[in-house]
Amino acid sequence: MKLKALIIEDNEQNMYMLNFLLINNGYEVIQAFNGLDGLKAAHEEIPDVILLDIQLPEMSGYDVARQLRSNHELDHVPIVAVTSHAMVGDREKAIESGATGYIEKPIDPDNFIKRLESYYTSELNQRKQL
């Protein structure tokens, strides 16, 4: 069974790279180019993991993470902030808003999937192997 990843990212190049890496590693991918569409997709699809940019149009990734965490159907879903916000305190701010993990941009394609999957529970890793 493929894991379902929701990418919430407004930059087309970043979206392409994340989509490419995930699909080539056996994921089903859902794309959203802004926070509102991301919230809607998350509630409709209940993905296995959410990759969330912090700097989004209309609403910040921090606000998106907080709203995602208010939906109890998504309690088990890891939210990984994938962002160029790499200043002191940005990681903590992402975690405080509801993110499970944090990966800085630019991403390293050679270890991105390994880093992403380090935020999963053992249950998700077992599902990916089915």
Q: Do strands 4-8 and 49-52 pair parallel, antiparallel, or not at all (unpaired)?
A: parallel
Instruction: Please give the pLDDT value at position 125.
Output: 53
Count how many Cα atoms sit within 13 Å of the Cα of residue 92 in the half-sphere of its side chain: 3
On the question of pLDDT at 128 being above 60, the answer is no
What is the architecture of the domain spanning 4-129? 3-Layer(aba) Sandwich (3.40)
On the question of pLDDT at 130 being above 70, the answer is no
Q: With bands split at pLDDT 50, 70 and 90, how would you rate the model's confidence at 1?
A: confident
